[in-house]
Structure 1
Amino acid sequence: MTDQADLTDRTDRTDRTDRTDRTDLADLTDAADRADDAADLADLAVVGAGPAGLAAAVAAAGLGLRVTVLDAGDRPGGQFYRHPAPGLGAARPEALHHDWAAFANREAALRAHESAGRITCLAGHHVWTVVADPASAPPAARGAARTGEPAARSTAWTLHAVTGDEGAAATVRARAVLIATGAYERQLPFPGWTLPGVVGAGGAQAMLKAGLVLPGKRIVVAGSGPLLLAVAGSLAAAGATVPAVVEASAYTAYAGRAAVLLRNPAKLVEGATYGSALLRHRVRLLTRHAVTEVHGTDRVEAVTVTRLDRDWRPLPAAARRIPCDAVAVGHGLVPQLELATGLGCATRRGPDGTVALDLAADGRTSVPGIWSAGETGGIGGAALAITEGEIAAHAIAGRPVPAPLTRRRSRLRAFADAMAAAHRPGPGWTGWLRDDAVVCRCEEVPAGRIREAADDLGARDARTVKLLTRAGMGWCQGRMCGPAVAALAGEAPAPDRRPLSCPVPLRHLAELPAADG
């Protein structure tokens, strides 16, 4: 009995030793794998190289981080600092931009950090998802994941991107991610807006900055927001005739924000510059008016401009017709949030009615390891985006945020909120939509069909309207028509949540590792 017990005890000790050796070997293998991966693991991945992303990347590199910048464009600058195509031979591209020096200095710093190996720039990369990277989790967390037990959050992220014209796949791994994806234009439809010659206000400016072309010779600029003044001034300076800037809001809405305006003298000077440009080019400013219809057969020939009440309801007795061959229209901007909301980042309702990320003062989202800066946290312009990018870089690097940056952000954010509230669309704008007016351009869904879904079929939200009418199911996935569909359904626009932020070839999904799928 004793001999048998001794044999059993020795066998148990041997088994335990073997298991310990195997565990140590697994941990050593994990450590080796992590060491191999470390060389490919950036400290920070920045998605977007507009004002916020560019500022964050340069500041983070200056603080000692290894940074990878991914941007869909060919050059940094984003939508705000667009560049003319090289073949156009533009001698002074800075003439088309406000505060070009702020961009030029940071682009030079970006290139210097790139040459030194502190920044890797990946142009033409459309990031379509960001996922937690289980390969970087500690061994205990991976073991828990294998046994089905709760695991700690991974310490790194994998970014999947589509690159180039052929749609090749690319991945980037980083310890932290800063989302600086900017915004796109908010469009409120009206009869005739599908005619050739109707473009977004920002689109008209992009045509001028990137292509040195105008959408027409006689252009009415319409919508709401301070972008209209900048667009009108640029178009007029480039040789277009701008008979009117048609602003749906009234600038008297700023009257109750005098303290905020006085804290931002540079913004007042900027506004005065735009105003003087309109006077110099004899551009008429019509406040509390809207383009309520576009006329023409094959392209724009004229617009009907109608006076609005305080809630943006059209007053038909106060309509006029303005001849033109193009319309540049936009009602502000909408934060581009697909990557962030796909990760579960919390959102908030902004003063302009759009959905923005709910961020801490240093740019932290509600998801650990994910940061954001710029228009994703609420529309505020390039100066605020640059400031927020630099603040986030300090926080990500674990450095104290300089007090001047904090004060500047507070001041500029207060101005942005005042601006957003002043130009928020009123609820009565749907009054200019006839039933035959197209709302969803991709699927050619008219307003009458959406109203029928809401009034007769019981749809009370944009998702149900989509299921009943296909509004929002087209190529743009509701970016253009989403706010209008929600308004006609009696719902406030909801956070845009989707697993893919841009079109992705199916082969990329099939090639994903099981952990990412």
Structure 2
Amino acid sequence: MSEGPRLAVIGAGPAGLVAALAAAARGVAVTLVDAAPDAGGQFYRQPAAGLGARRPQALHHQWRTWERLRDGLAAHVAAGRITHLTEHHVWCVERESAVPDAAADARAAASFTVHALLGPEQEESVAVRADAVLLATGGYEKVLPFPGWTLPGVVTAGGAQAMLKSGLVLPGRTAVVAGTGPLLMPVAVGLAAAGAKVAALVESADPRDLVRHARVLAAHPDKLAEGARYAAELARYRVRAHVRHAVVAAHGTDRLEAVTVAALDPDGRVREGSEWRIPCDSLAVGHGMLPHTDLAETLGCRLDGVSVAVDDEQRTDVPGVWAAGETTGVGGAALSLAEGRIAGLSIAARLDSRAPEPRSYARAAKARSGLREFFTAVDTVCAPPDRWVERVGDDTLVCRCEEVPAAAIREAVDDLGAGDVRTVKLLTRAGMGWCQGRMCGPAVAGLAGCPPTPSRRPFARPVPLGVLAREPGELP
């Protein structure tokens, strides 16, 4: 593995997997580094082997695509072309040296060291050397606060899906699925199919607004058919959908007992007198997703809004660094697969000093373009309501790690003159806890009335001091 060009792929979801396969098939030695015990990412998350799931495919669609990726990975690992490092949590990527000559673009233009914490205890670090790096770190859910959102029984929509896929467990027996975005429908269907009573699906957007994007939607009949299948499944399980509604409060003492749902006007305000309660013991809630950009920010990659900016070959503006999948913009598994293939082919060509062959990824490039347009339209319609901050009471916790209420954030802005997220953080400690603002960042920015700003943290995750004090082990 040490001879010839070396690529480190960070993340073994759809984008990372297909990129690793494409590069390995063209002679690049690939080290695939992933935090999970198995490949697949969130989309292809599998039940633990010890659970003995008889039909894991029932929890997924696109199962045949997963089988091809899984079998391809196994073949390359067996042949020595890919080293798959599981349960390795990357906390830093160092760019060590630049190539000063004119061949810099054809070659990776730098050498890299990927530092990762090993295993569940994360008390040991290893280092992976590479000539190029692909960031396929995926995304994470955005959850906006509301009264009662910290009660036991309230989970993210993706969290509920992960519990079902990996642990074969339900977050509760009677569930409400709420928020906005295309993830809600598969989560509600999955919970219902697994035996939960889904009392309601509460969507703050109005799907009828998609009519304004009819041209874009019509170009993707497969996506429309997928949505129609989920709608039919919801009807079969008698799950009632409430559009342009929101969960405005969760209730309970020791755990969740009920939620209050209300209708929203076109501006996102609660319609007076429209509230009613739904008894439930679990609430799966999500307001869209955000890209994981910590490692990209550390490397100095340019961001386009909240996503890593890339060119037509999925290259960032840092030589030797590519990015693909949700980290460049949230758009689902199909888009991640297209971007991953383009990145893998580009990396292989660049490391071998050959120009990319346009015909080899023309189909992937066409799919990428169409899917980006499709999900831009969906994101426009499924954006959280503008007036959501008005439903956040002063005593509602916004930063759960540091227990900072909304009142403290409003005081920092209104009385102390804070005009950006960093100043709010310094004045209130919002974002200084274990998650470093990953959970509360969008909410703090919304309450402060300012855009979120890149953090540029030196580390992508908490690192034990003992790890920093000793020389890490190195893999070839």
TM-score bucket of the superposed structures, by smaller chain:
over 0.9
CA distance in 2, matches of 1:284, 1:467: 44
1:132 aligns with 2:95: yes
CA distance in 2, matches of 1:207, 1:158: 33
Moved more, 52-61 or 416-425: 416-425
Query: What is the total number of aligned residue pairs between the two structures?
Result: 458
Aligned residues of 2:4 and 2:28 also touching (Cα < 8 A): no
Letter in 1 for 2:246: A
What is the root-mean-square deviation of aligned Cα atoms in Å? 1.7
Which of residues 392, 399, 421 in structure 2 aligns to 1:440? 399
Moved more, 504-513 or 259-268: 504-513
Cα displacement (A) at 1:375: 0.3
Cα displacement (A) at 1:209: 0.4
Alignment of 1:324-473 (within 5 A): 324-349=280-305, 355-398=306-349, 399-401=356-358, 402-473=361-432
1:163 aligns with 2:118: yes
5+ long unaligned stretches in structure 2: 102-106, 350-355
1:287 aligns with 2:250: no
SS of 1:213's partner is: coil
Letter in 2 for 1:93: P
CA distance in 2, matches of 1:481, 1:132: 30
CA distance in 2, matches of 1:445, 1:315: 29
Cα displacement (A) at 1:41: 7.1
Cα displacement (A) at 1:192: 0.3
SS of 1:90's partner is: coil
Cα displacement (A) at 1:220: 0.4
Letter in 2 for 1:155: A
1:96 aligns with 59
Cα displacement (A) at 1:508: 2.5
Aligned residues of 1:71 and 1:125 also touching (Cα < 8 A): yes
SS of 2:132's partner is: strand
Once the two structures are superposed, what CA deviation does each residue of 1:121-141 show, in whole Å capped at 9, x if it has no partner? 11111111111124x8679xx
2:104 aligns with none
1:47 aligns with 2:10: yes
1:177 aligns with 133
Report the CA distance shift for 1:54/1:153 in structure 2 as closer, same or farther (over 3 A). closer
Alignment of 1:493-504 (within 5 A): 493-504=452-463
Larger Rg: 1
Letter in 2 for 1:79: Q
Would you identify which runs of 4 or more consecutive aligned residues in structure 1 move more than 6 Å?
none
Judging by fraction of residues, say which structure has more helix: 1
CA distance in 2, matches of 1:130, 1:305: 45
Letter in 1 for 2:267: D
Letter in 2 for 1:56: A
Report the CA distance shift for 1:296/1:131 in structure 2 as closer, same or farther (over 3 A). same
Cα displacement (A) at 1:253: 2.1
Which of residues 204, 210, 215 in structure 2 aligns to 1:254? 210
% identity of equivalent residues: 56
Report the CA distance shift for 1:94/1:269 in structure 2 as closer, same or farther (over 3 A). same
2:266 aligns with 310
1:480 aligns with 2:436: no
CA distance in 1, matches of 2:99, 2:341: 28
Aligned residues of 2:15 and 2:336 also touching (Cα < 8 A): yes
Cα displacement (A) at 1:84: 0.7
Cα displacement (A) at 1:184: 0.6
CA distance in 2, matches of 1:240, 1:404: 40
Aligned residues of 1:304 and 1:320 also touching (Cα < 8 A): yes
Aligned residues of 2:108 and 2:320 also touching (Cα < 8 A): no
Does 1 or 2 have the higher relative contact order (CA < 8 Å, sep 6+)?
2
Letter in 1 for 2:80: G
1:107 aligns with 2:70: yes
Report the CA distance shift for 1:460/1:94 in structure 2 as closer, same or farther (over 3 A). same
Cα displacement (A) at 1:153: 9.4
Aligned residues of 1:314 and 1:429 also touching (Cα < 8 A): no
SS of 1:397's partner is: helix
1:22 aligns with none
CA distance in 2, matches of 1:494, 1:308: 29
Letter in 2 for 1:177: V
CA distance in 1, matches of 2:4, 2:432: 37
CA distance in 2, matches of 1:104, 1:471: 43
Once the two structures are superposed, what CA deviation does each residue of 1:448-483 show, in whole Å capped at 9, x if it has no partner? 111111111111111111111111111111111110
CA distance in 2, matches of 1:41, 1:164: 29
SS of 2:131's partner is: strand
CA distance in 1, matches of 2:120, 2:398: 31
CA distance in 2, matches of 1:310, 1:375: 30
Which of residues 184, 209, 222 in structure 2 aligns to 1:228? 184
SS of 2:275's partner is: strand
Once the two structures are superposed, what CA deviation does each residue of 1:117-165 show, in whole Å capped at 9, x if it has no partner? 111111111111111124x8679xxxxxxxxxxxx99621111111113
CA distance in 1, matches of 2:425, 2:338: 39
Once the two structures are superposed, what CA deviation does each residue of 1:167-204 show, in whole Å capped at 9, x if it has no partner? 21101111110000001110100000111100000000
Report the CA distance shift for 1:311/1:495 in structure 2 as closer, same or farther (over 3 A). farther
